[in-house]
Chain A
């Protein structure tokens, strides 16, 4: 049997030691009427060679199109060393580091990760990661309620640029604990918050600001952070970690900085892989650390006085606090964090700056080419990082479908978010000038080919 080492002789000896006649006897406490004989719906086994063939065929069906979609997940070059090391069995097949002395590798890696991600976000402390960026918003909103205990409204205000899926996920996870999510007004020209329409709010517990915003614009985070703090709200920043190579860190937003920063960690060395596994990061000010959900690693000393690492502040967690825990979470995304730590170590800050700058440059080249096409223009004015929303003079879906036939994924359909015929494009450092020029030409062709409104 696959992965079962027992010889017939082993089995007989083991049954004899147990005092059972057959393996079936070992199931004699299960009521007979509940027992099943077979799993007819599961296919017969295939060996590794056969399954490899199957999976290669399946992979080939999906191809390797030229991808300009971002919308929360970004294609970046991943150094070969990242996954070569992260999938070493000692990382890959280890459990949660509860036995600290036998888990120093994982624990030190997480400590180094915590150091790097607090540096990038400009905040004091980090947890060992959460499931992904979207679910991190749910956890951050619940944390804000604990941090901001005086405020009982449960009102969480979202900047207009917060990813709509993040809002859906936060509502699904945290909605039954008395939280409500309310959007701040959007300025139609910039896509950012309409400061003119901002009134003093009725005691929001938190204000959530995404930078860059979901449609790629840059919000005036300083002004919005100060407004939020004036309302008595905790500020939650959602940030792209690669953008933090050049954009202001949430810890430095406004007069006081954001209280909590979260985001999708995927751009830091994690493959796109159809949406996961990724990891959500979360950092906060030192004074909020006991309200943070998830695992946290601390440095301490051992019996000999040497430094070592251990999970700490576990009294917040479900296996100790049960129904009174800060969250039901027990997992972090350990393997992804390992990859991200190796990625950040290889790139260093200067390398990350180059990735950010090249992504910005490539996106600019792409956007400049696209807006020169008849029927395409920018949806929002203003600066951007590496993603830009474009307004079309016709429905977006047929345009994207026509490009997909040429193996170009031309962007993310923004129609439902922007209430307009709009799409969003992103060109990271992985794209060459030739890729971009080819794509601009393909867009021009598709937009011109079938004429306005009937691609």
Chain B
């Protein structure tokens, strides 16, 4: 029976401790999951075990794999174990695949040195079939959805036969269905006697995997035990807050469960019979819908159903092939704003945040005092404005994006998976800040999410997109 014991791990950056964990043990067949907010050190712990920490971080501690003692301070000593005994399923599966190489070859690489080419490719095909991607070996990564890309990385990471599998935020940016499919693969890995260490902020994934869960905060594990006990009956105050951050449990003044105010104003956006194709792929097929002033609409549906394309078409960011999209006069002059899934992509990397925000404020004639007011309302320190986008956390950056979006006094905000990369507590804070602002100015919201509970908590109505990119049904006031 394989076991992995980790003793006294300490990761420091210039003397500041980032991880301080005394002991944890992984057993074959039993999942071990670490949950907690971003910046709590949970990813660093996984990379310390794998030996993939960034240079500049010092590690102390040791682990024993099947009784073999491995010093964690020397990252080089695990290189020989990579792919054979230790495997890491990376964050962002889409960017973990080489865009210029067919996925079959990338999976086959995991056994490059042991096996001749022909046999290797056959094994890779078999591995892809095992993750539900039979016959896709000659595809390039850009033709795969996020969930498919992740199953490819799973096949590539495990083909070398590694028993210890580490996962770093595997559910980031994936829809529910893709996370469930990943869960099935991980169950199989455990059933085959594998060891599993998962780092996630997704409590539902943690519950699904079962086994042991540890809650990490400020570099340390504050609570751990069987997953049902820890998440069902949390002892630590922080764990209670974490569990309570599930959108299904929210209770906020801006929420208006089912009570949608009657309006006589004409709609802000009217889309009639909108169609859009990319090459031969039909993304939208004869979609018609309206967004009224002050309304909160959620677009839901599986990945690849055209949610983002529809949202961008409604904002007139992408031209449509057929049909029309008309905007009411009050949307002109920058009064439609968009929040992106990855806020880092919506800020220039080398410009201090304050300079960019200041430009928007000047362009729209906003009093500089208003910027500070908004920053305070979002719980952001004004000092953050001197930093660059890479020097603040993802949650902070998304709230800065909210501040920026609020400056032109928008009548419609489009939030495209704006919180799907944030942990639950940060998501709660960000959504709360956004919705408080929107409610105060009766601004309409168009949101895309794959999180049913979030759509339920925020939106007045949901529009479900089907697989073919056509509108399935409209759930009137949810």
A, B in one complex: no
Q: Give A contacts to B, CB under 8 Å.
A: none
Q: Give B contacts to A, CB under 8 Å.
A: none
